[in-house]
């Protein structure tokens, strides 16, 4: 097809590339530095790491010919001008490796430099000739010249080089120029005319909570024993000790802002609510304020700050919800009419998913003419909560707002609060979910909630833990959410609730439970629907947290295992094991430092099952000291079992305990 472009659009392309002129410095850079890992999309996005964990960097580094190459890893905090330098070593087929460790939360950069060592090349050849009995008189003159040249730029190494030249002059001995201890000062001082630096790659180092955490989600207004009494922050404060005792790390609230009154939704998403119904907290904003205000029935900002402090005191932290939609009575609708789209008849353009309309919310227009101020206003909302000591933000439906808004906003917020964590609640197409993670979201919701078979888990976890996904996509496995009561929970059988929470808590470093799950709540809105009946989104829902049949103790034990075993605090070192039963998932996770390994078997069906858990040739331990697993020790009972034929026979009865967790012993 040969068509011409519409004339209105000017091609934004750079136009034909000019050949690089021969006298350009470009031609001095003799090295190829290829396939540098870790990197995301050629350095467009930052690799994610946790502080104090070493970052191993590998790359293909080579030039023409056979001269001796030196390569180093350069790294620095984003705002530093000097690079720090780590050595790199060649380990295989032109592949080199080096490492550095970021010790502070924040943005880093790294790159590789390579150059030819003229001295080492000379030394290598001269030693070979010496061994072969060749006359090296002229070679020694060459070596002397190399040292003399380096001497002119040598700093600390100058005395050693001077000494070598003097010794050679005095004795004429080859050893004077070939001595081992000349290598280091010559490497530092000799010229590097072909020094080649790779592209510079970004990295973000974050606190451990960015990767690891057990989340508990609750609606503050439901923390009451009376459906007619709106729960408050003080009610939540009273619950904090019990939640913390179960080992949860993060306490997450749906929006806590004033709720709109115009077109307010009633119970079960009804369009005709009764007077006094509380509405959905996702219809943000009312006469009392917008995204930076607190719903008056929950309490005051001071109450909230007290809650933040109490939570912190109990070793947890608060996560707030960030949803950009506004209720029709959000103050911005009047203060910033131009931040919204209006219809030709002057009416509001409600959120919609044609043919459906959501008449209790309006989306701001992220590409309105006053875009910059709208974006800044949203940033300022997060900064405001940051100033209230909130350091975790769960973002509602980020995939329906511009990608570049998130990249900009997260960058801005983390410049002010480097330890701010953002969780992306995008349930959408895989590439979109990955794009959000690349753009800066610290962690992400996943498809876990709907994965049920062994083959599905193996495929999905393999995708999340492979390169490059493992460098940017940090999963948070929610067993349920206020929006999702998955089909497999609707039977209400306790074993499946236990199995699901065990899967989430052991497969992913971060996982989440929405309250009610521990009480085996399981009644759907209707048959064939994955939504809760009488959803808490639209009503106040008092509960008896100690009701018979609850699985709080079970969850508490899982959280304790997670805290005690670093192997469960990361996602990357996961290996599936052969289990001769498709209804049992078996895997081993090993800590980043290789000082802890846990074997897990979880029933995916009602069972009971007897099965072989086969370790095959799986080895654990640090590189250079990897070993076969020889025994496993039950984390609950302490019972130790020895492997036979690289495997072990196990028994699971999901009605009491659908998951077996073991420490691996070599």
> Do residues 48 and 441 make contact, with C-beta atoms less than 8 angstroms apart?
no
Query: Nearest to residue 197, comparing CAs of 371, 3, 43?
Result: 43
How are strands ordered across the β-sheet holding 55-62? 32-37, 55-62, 95-100, 89-92
Give the Cα separation of 218 and 232 in Å (integer). Answer: 12
Closest distance between a second copy and the C-beta of residue 12, in Å?
5
* Helices 430-439 & 403-416 angle (0-180, nearest 10): 30
Burial class of residue 421 (count of CB atoms within 10 Å of its CB; 0-12, 13-18, 19+):
buried
Output b/e per residue, 376-410; b: 16+ Cβ within 10 A: ebbbebbbebbebebbbbbbbbbbebeeebbbbbb
Minimum CB distance to a second copy smaller for 142 or for 389: 142
Tokens at 316, concatenated: 């947890």
Give the active site residue among 190, 206, 317, 425: 425
Residue 292 half-sphere exposure toward CB, CA atoms < 13 A: 13
- CB 370, CB 340: distance < 8 Å: no
Give the nearest distance from C-beta 324 to a second copy in angstroms.
Answer: 12
Q: For residues 204 and 454, which CB has a smaller minimum distance to a second copy in the complex?
A: 204
Query: Three-class SS string for 227-254?
Result: CCCCCCHHHHHHHHHHHHHCCCCEEECC
Classify strands 106-116 and 89-92 as parallel, antiparallel or unpaired: unpaired
Whole-angstrom distance, CA of residue 102 vs CA of residue 204: 9
Distance between CA atoms of residues 280 and 275, nearest Å? 14
Residue 354 per-residue DSSP state: T
Q: Structure tokens of 180?
A: 């081992």
Start-end of H helices in 361-468: 371-387, 403-416, 430-439, 454-465
The sheet with strand 631-634 has its strands ordered as 574-576, 584-590, 597-603, 659-665, 631-634, 640-642
Nearer to a second copy, 24 or 462 (CB): 24
Candidate list 113, 396, 471, 521, residue with the active-site label = 396
335: annotated active-site residue: no
80 is catalytic: no
What does the chain come to in residues?
A: 666
> CB-based contacts of 223: which residues, under 8 Å, 6+ apart?
231, 232, 235, 236, 238, 239
Nearer to a second copy, 125 or 556 (CB): 125
Query: Catalytic residue positions?
Result: 396, 425
């Amino acid at each position: 097809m040969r068509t011409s472009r519409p004339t209105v659009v000017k091609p934004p392309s750079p136009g034909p590339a000019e050949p690089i002129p021969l006298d350009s410095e470009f031609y001095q850079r003799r090295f190829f530095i290829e396939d540098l890992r870790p990197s995301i999309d050629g350095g467009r996005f930052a690799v994610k790491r946790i502080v104090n964990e070493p970052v191993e960097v590998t790359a293909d580094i080579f030039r023409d010919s056979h001269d001796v190459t030196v390569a180093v890893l350069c790294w620095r905090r984003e705002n530093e001008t000097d690079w720090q330098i780590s050595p790199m070593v060649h380990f295989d087929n032109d592949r080199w490796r080096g490492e550095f460790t970021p010790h502070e939360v924040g943005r880093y950069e790294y790159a590789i430099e390579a150059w030819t060592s003229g001295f080492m090349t000379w030394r290598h050849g001269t030693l070979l000739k010496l061994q072969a009995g060749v006359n090296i008189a002229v070679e020694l003159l060459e070596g002397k010249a190399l040292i003399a040249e380096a001497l002119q730029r040598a700093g600390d190494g100058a005395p050693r080089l001077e000494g070598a030249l003097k010794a050679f002059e005095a004795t004429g001995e080859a050893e004077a120029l070939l001595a081992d201890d000349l290598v280091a000062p010559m490497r530092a001082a000799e010229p590097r005319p072909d020094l080649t630096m790779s592209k510079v790659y970004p990295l973000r180092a974050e606190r451990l909570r960015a990767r690891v955490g057990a989340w508990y989600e609750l609606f503050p207004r439901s923390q009451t024993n009376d459906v007619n009494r709106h729960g408050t922050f003080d009610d939540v404060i009273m619950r904090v000790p019990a939640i913390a005792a179960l080992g949860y790390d993060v306490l997450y609230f749906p929006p806590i802002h004033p709720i709109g009154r115009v077109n307010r939704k009633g119970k079960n998403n009804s369009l005709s609510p009764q007077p006094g119904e509380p509405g959905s907290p996702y219809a943000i904003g009312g006469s009392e304020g917008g995204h930076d205000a607190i719903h008056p029935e929950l309490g005051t900002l001071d109450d909230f700050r007290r809650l933040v402090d109490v939570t912190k005191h109990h070793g947890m932290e608060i996560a707030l919800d960030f949803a950009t939609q506004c209720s029709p009575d959000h103050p911005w609708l009047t203060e910033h009419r131009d931040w919204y789209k209006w219809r030709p008849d002057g009416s509001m353009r409600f959120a919609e998913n044609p043919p459906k309309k959501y008449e209790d919310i309006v989306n701001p227009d992220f590409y309105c003419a006053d875009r910059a101020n709208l974006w800044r206003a949203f940033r300022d909302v997060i900064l405001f909560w940051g100033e209230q000591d909130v350091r975790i933000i769960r973002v509602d439906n980020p995939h329906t707002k511009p990608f570049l808004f998130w990249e900009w906003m997260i960058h801005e917020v983390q410049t002010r609060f480097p330890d701010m964590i953002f969780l992306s609640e995008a349930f959408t197409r895989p590439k979109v979910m990955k794009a959000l993670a690349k753009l800066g979201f610290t962690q992400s919701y996943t498809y876990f909630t709907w994965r049920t078979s062994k083959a599905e888990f193996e495929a999905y976890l393999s995708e999340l833990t492979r390169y490059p996904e493992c460098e940017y996509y940090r999963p948070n496995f929610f067993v349920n959410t206020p929006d999702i009561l998955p089909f497999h929970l609707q039977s209400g059988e306790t074993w499946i609730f236990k199995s699901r929470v065990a899967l989430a808590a052991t497969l992913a470093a971060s996982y989440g439970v929405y309250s009610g799950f521990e009480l085996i709540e399981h009644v759907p809105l209707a048959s064939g629907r994955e939504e809760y009946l009488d959803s808490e989104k639209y009503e106040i829902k008092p509960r008896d947290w100690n009701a018979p049949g609850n699985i709080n103790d079970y969850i508490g034990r899982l959280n304790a295992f997670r805290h005690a075993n670093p192997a469960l605090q990361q996602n990357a070192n996961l290996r599936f094991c052969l289990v001769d039963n498709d209804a049992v998932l078996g895997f081993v996770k090993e800590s980043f430092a290789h000082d802890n390994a846990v074997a897990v078997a979880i029933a995916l069906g009602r069972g009971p099952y007897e099965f072989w858990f086969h370790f095959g040739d799986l080895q654990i331990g640090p590189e250079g000291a990897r070993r076969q697993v020889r025994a496993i020790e039950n984390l609950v009972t302490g019972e130790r079992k020895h492997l036979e034929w690289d495997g072990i026979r196990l028994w699971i009865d999901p009605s009491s305990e659908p998951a077996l967790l073991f420490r691996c012993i070599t």
